[in-house]
């Protein structure tokens, strides 16, 4: 499951970057999301796509969820919600 | 606004009923208008309604049509209930519209507790009766506005404000047979009923119980010449495979935005018909009709109003002033129907692009994506241009980053070609996405697209919108 969440997230980052003509920084767990090359709209799209792809939206569950800072946080946030 | 001295429905009918073939046809019953002039569907008790405020509450559409024809000119007020009026609102409606007589095909016992002074049973069958109508009076028509949930909202019209036709319809010579996907107990359908009756024509009624293909076949068998409905109605007709069962001379769309795709589809199907898209609402009446086959309204229709209808745009929305607007709301004094200059604000937002005004949505329907506004309808217009798309609904989805994003649900025209349907759909989805990326600002492009088997359509024939 973890692997599939991670790979779905990574592939969405690439897909949205291509659609929005953004240059995506090399993805690593300590990459700060705001330095990834994606803007807010891109992240909004990534979250919406992940909801359809994974069947859940971790942000919808916790009202006060803070948006993850690094890619590693982001993936962990989704992996925790998938458990 | 003064009621004018136009003839009542009955007077107009008796002046022109000469053609014995004129009729109103429902799926399982029919009435020759000629017979109605020498009979009654109200147990012969029309006189009891003189000067009263009558609630017309009929399960059967034909029964309602016949009751209206007889009662106009006799009652002080007609309150025409839509077919889906929630029974719990009836006491409110009766109190608000000062109803003192109920005309219904329901059982009298159903109304016993409501305290109306008179109950008259109506039906769709004409019983021969000697009718003396005596002195006629202008009757006020009270209609329910569409698209509201909760407490019903009623507006006041006169026969002339309802029946005034903009250009269109026209005289074809020969028998005019109208039909409409609308129910005649709503503004869109009532207009057609009145135009059929006052214009010397006949009418084929639709029914929610009847499959679209069956309705089209029945309308075709009556040689329908004029047909009206919403773009959603027409899309359903095209999907039914039976659209060519009718060969109308005149096709009219109203009630929703007519995009170029539906206009082109109808043009292809009805090559010889006049195809018009019109703006009309229960409150604002008929605003305009466009017949050049293109979406939007030529800007010069704003400076050269047709048929006495004046149009203007203020705060982005269409305002209409004409003798066809409703007079006032009934029982809701807090809301003014018209502004100080007599214009009704339709709440529909227009945008000027190369000489034409285009509807881009409703004032209340805006999606806010990180502070940027999106009208769902402008996105739908782009999606609907894709040849595989039958209809679409664009809506808001909550999002932790931008507050909301735009998402789309799409009904495709036909089952994908043989092969893996998910693969086929994925191809269509990415094509639609590319179309949107080319035509729209980034925040307006749907973040997610879902192919769905169908979209809900409201009883008034419009795509059901959340929070509409």
A82 in B contact zone (CB under 8 Å): no
User: Tokens representing B121?
Assistant: 């049973």
Task: State the nearest Cα–Cα gap between B449 and chain A, in angstroms.
Answer: 9
Determine the topology of domain A2-82 in CATH: 1.10.1200
**Dist CA B185 CA B350 (whole Å):** 29
**Dist CA B122 CA B140 (whole Å):** 20
* Interchain pair B401, A60: CB under 8 A: no
Chain A with chain B: Cβ pairs closer than 8 A: 45
* Interchain pair A48, B398: CB under 8 A: no
| pLDDT band at residue B424 under the 50/70/90 scheme | low
- With a cut of 80, say whether residue B5 has pLDDT above it: no
Average pLDDT over all residues of chain B: 87
Lowest mean pLDDT: which of A27-36, B83-92, B111-120, B329-338?
B329-338
Q: Taking CB atoms and an 8 Å cutoff, what residues of chain A touch B443?
A: 41
Q: Taking CB atoms and an 8 Å cutoff, what residues of chain B touch A65?
A: 400
| pLDDT band at residue B418 under the 50/70/90 scheme | low
* Interchain pair B442, A48: CB under 8 A: no
pTM: 0.79
- Burial of residue B145, with CB atoms counted within 10 A of its CB: 0-12 exposed, 13-18 middle, 19 or more buried: middle
* Interchain pair A44, B450: CB under 8 A: no
* Interchain pair B399, A44: CB under 8 A: yes
Domains of chain B, residue spans: 9-351, 366-451
A67 in B contact zone (CB under 8 Å): yes
Q: ipTM value, please give it.
A: 0.89
- With a cut of 80, say whether residue B153 has pLDDT above it: yes
Domains of chain A, residue spans: 2-82
Q: Taking CB atoms and an 8 Å cutoff, what residues of chain A touch B402?
A: 40-41, 44
User: Tokens representing B303?
Assistant: 């400076």
- The average pLDDT across B29-49 equals 93
Say which residues have a Cβ less than 8 Å from residue B25's Cβ, sequence separation at least 6.
B202, B203, B204, B205, B218, B222
Task: Locate the chain A residue with the closest alpha carbon to B402.
Answer: A44
Task: State the nearest Cα–Cα gap between A40 and chain B, in angstroms.
Answer: 6
Say which residues have a Cβ less than 8 Å from residue B315's Cβ, sequence separation at least 6.
none
Q: Taking CB atoms and an 8 Å cutoff, what residues of chain A touch B398?
A: 60
In total, chain B counts a number of residues equal to 468
Q: How far is CA B345 from CA B44, B160, B187, B230, B325, in A?
A: 43, 21, 17, 21, 11
What residues in chain B have their Cβ under 8 A from chain A's Cβ atoms? 369-370, 397-402, 405, 407, 433, 437, 442-443, 447-448, 450
Q: Of B335, B284, B336, nearest to B311 (Cα)?
A: B284
Question: A1-13, pLDDT tens digit by residue?
Answer: 457 899 999 999 9
Task: State the nearest Cα–Cα gap between B456 and chain A, in angstroms.
Answer: 21
Q: Where are the alpha helices (DSSP H) in B80-149?
A: 90-96
- The average pLDDT across B224-237 equals 91
DSSP B297: E
Residue of A33, A34, A47, A74 to mutate for B, most B C-beta atoms under 10 A: A47
DSSP B457: B
Dihedral-angle region of residue B293 (phi above 0 means left; psi in -120 to 50 means alpha; beta otherwise)? left
For residue B156, the cross-strand partners are B142, B328
Q: Is B427 helix (H, G, I), strand (E, B) or coil?
A: helix
**Dist CA B24 CA B129 (whole Å):** 19
* Interchain pair B402, A41: CB under 8 A: yes
A41 in B contact zone (CB under 8 Å): yes
Between strands B285-290 and B274-281, the pairing is antiparallel
Task: State the nearest Cα–Cα gap between A26 and chain B, in angstroms.
Answer: 22
Task: Locate the chain B residue with the closest alpha carbon to A45.
Answer: B447
* Interchain pair A48, B400: CB under 8 A: no
Question: B366-402, pLDDT tens digit by residue?
Answer: 888 887 888 899 999 999 999 999 999 999 998 888 8
In total, chain A counts a number of residues equal to 83
Nearest to A19 among B370, B399, B437 (CB): B437
Compare B270 and B373 and report the one with higher pLDDT: B270
**Dist CA B263 CA B261 (whole Å):** 5
Nearest to B447 among A40, A44, A60 (CB): A44
* Interchain pair A48, B447: CB under 8 A: yes
> Do B124 and B29 contact (CB within 8 A), yes or no?
yes
B203: how many CB neighbours lie within 10 A of its CB? 28
- The average pLDDT across B293-321 equals 88
Q: How far is CA B128 from CA B38, B40, B61, in A?
A: 6, 6, 21
**Dist CA B430 CA B309 (whole Å):** 44
Lowest mean pLDDT: which of B29-38, B60-69, B268-277?
B29-38
Task: Locate the chain B residue with the closest alpha carbon to A65.
Answer: B400
> Do B459 and B187 contact (CB within 8 A), yes or no?
no
* Interchain pair B407, A48: CB under 8 A: yes
User: Percentage of residues in chain B with pLDDT exceeding 70?
Assistant: 92
pLDDT value of position B172: 46
User: Tokens representing B167?
Assistant: 């250009």
Q: Taking CB atoms and an 8 Å cutoff, what residues of chain A touch B399?
A: 44, 47-48, 59
Question: A21-62, pLDDT tens digit by residue?
Answer: 899 999 999 999 888 999 889 999 999 999 989 988 888 766
Task: Locate the chain A residue with the closest alpha carbon to B435.
Answer: A19
Q: Is B57 helix (H, G, I), strand (E, B) or coil?
A: strand
- With a cut of 70, say whether residue B419 has pLDDT above it: no
| pLDDT band at residue B165 under the 50/70/90 scheme | low
Q: Taking CB atoms and an 8 Å cutoff, what residues of chain B touch A47?
A: 399-401, 405
Task: Locate the chain B residue with the closest alpha carbon to A49.
Answer: B448
**Dist CA B82 CA B94 (whole Å):** 14
* Interchain pair B401, A44: CB under 8 A: yes
What backbone phi and psi angles, to 5 degrees, belong to B399?
-145, 135
CATH of B9-351, one of 3.60.20.10, 3.40.50.2300, 3.20.20.70, 3.40.50.12780: 3.40.50.12780
The angle subtended at Cα B154 by Cα B152 and Cα B159, nearest 5°, is 145
- The average pLDDT across B194-200 equals 90
pLDDT value of position B356: 95
Interhelix angle B61-71/B9-16, rounded to 10 degrees, is 90
Q: How far is CA B67 from CA A20, B38, B345, in A?
A: 60, 14, 32
> Do B376 and B465 contact (CB within 8 A), yes or no?
yes
pLDDT value of position A12: 95
**Dist CA B203 CA B177 (whole Å):** 6
User: Tokens representing B249?
Assistant: 């001379």
User: Tokens representing B436?
Assistant: 């949107």
Show the beta-strand stretches assigned E in chain A: none
| pLDDT band at residue B2 under the 50/70/90 scheme | very low
Q: How far is CA B131 from its chain centroid? A: 33
Task: State the nearest Cα–Cα gap between B401 and chain A, in angstroms.
Answer: 5
Q: What is the CATH number of domain B366-451?
A: 3.30.300.30
pLDDT value of position B288: 87
pLDDT value of position A63: 57
- Burial of residue B298, with CB atoms counted within 10 A of its CB: 0-12 exposed, 13-18 middle, 19 or more buried: middle
- Burial of residue A63, with CB atoms counted within 10 A of its CB: 0-12 exposed, 13-18 middle, 19 or more buried: exposed
A40 in B contact zone (CB under 8 Å): yes
């Amino acid at each position: 499951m973890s692997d599939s969440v991670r790979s779905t997230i990574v592939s969405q980052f690439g897909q949205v970057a291509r659609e929005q003509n953004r240059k995506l920084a090399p993805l690593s767990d300590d990459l700060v999301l705001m330095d990834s090359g994606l803007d807010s709209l891109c992240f909004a799209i990534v979250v919406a796509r992940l909801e359809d792809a994974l069947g859940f939206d971790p942000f919808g569950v916790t009202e006060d969820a803070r948006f993850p800072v690094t890619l590693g946080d982001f993936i962990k946030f989704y992996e925790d919600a998938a458990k | 606004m003064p009621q004018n001295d136009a003839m009542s429905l009955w007077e107009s009918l008796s002046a022109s009923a000469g053609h014995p073939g004129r009729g109103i046809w429902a799926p399982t019953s029919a009435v020759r208008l000629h017979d109605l002039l020498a009979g009654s569907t109200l147990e012969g008790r029309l006189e009891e309604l003189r000067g009263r405020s009558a609630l017309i509450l009929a399960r059967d559409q034909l029964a309602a049509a016949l009751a209206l024809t007889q009662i106009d000119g006799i009652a002080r007020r007609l309150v025409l209930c839509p077919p889906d009026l929630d029974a719990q609102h009836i006491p409110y409606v009766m109190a608000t519209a000062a109803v003192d007589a109920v005309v219904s095909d329901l059982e009298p016992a159903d109304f016993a507790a409501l305290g109306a002074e008179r109950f008259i049973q109506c039906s769709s069958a004409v019983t021969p009766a000697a009718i003396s109508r005596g002195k006629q009076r202008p009757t006020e028509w009270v209609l329910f506005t569409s698209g509201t949930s909760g407490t019903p909202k009623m507006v006041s019209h006169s026969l002339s404000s309802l029946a005034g036709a903009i250009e269109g319809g026209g005289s074809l010579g020969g028998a005019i047979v109208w039909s409409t996907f609308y129910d005649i107990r709503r503004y869109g359908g009532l207009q057609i009923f009145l135009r059929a009756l006052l214009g010397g024509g006949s009418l084929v009624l639709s029914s929610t119980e009847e499959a679209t293909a069956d309705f089209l076949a029945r309308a075709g068998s009556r040689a329908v010449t004029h047909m009206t409905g919403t773009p959603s109605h027409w899309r359903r007709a095209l999907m039914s495979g039976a659209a060519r069962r009718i060969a109308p001379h005149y096709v009219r769309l109203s009630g929703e935005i007519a995009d170029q795709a539906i206009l082109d589809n109808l043009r292809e199907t009805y090559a010889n018909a006049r195809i018009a898209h019109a703006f009309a609402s229960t409150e604002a009446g008929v605003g305009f009709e466009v017949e050049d086959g293109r979406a939007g309204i030529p800007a010069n229709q704003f400076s050269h109003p047709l048929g006495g209808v004046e149009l203007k745009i203020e705060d982005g929305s269409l305002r209409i002033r004409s003798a066809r607007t409703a007079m006032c709301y009934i029982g809701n004094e807090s809301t003014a129907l018209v502004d100080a200059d007599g214009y009704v604000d339709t709440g529909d937002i227009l945008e000027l692009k190369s000489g034409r005004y285009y509807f881009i949505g409703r004032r209340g329907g805006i999606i806010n994506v990180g502070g940027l506004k999106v009208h769902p309808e402008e996105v739908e217009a782009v999606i609907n241009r894709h040849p595989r798309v039958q209809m679409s609904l664009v809506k808001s989805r909550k999002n932790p980053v931008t507050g909301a994003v735009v998402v789309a649900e799409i009904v495709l025209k036909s089952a994908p070609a043989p092969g893996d349907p998910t693969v086929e759909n994925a191809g269509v989805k990415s094509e639609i996405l590319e179309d949107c990326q080319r035509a729209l600002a980034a925040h307006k492009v749907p973040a997610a697209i879902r192919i769905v088997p169908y979209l809900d359509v409201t009883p008034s024939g419009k795509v059901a919108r959340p929070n509409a």
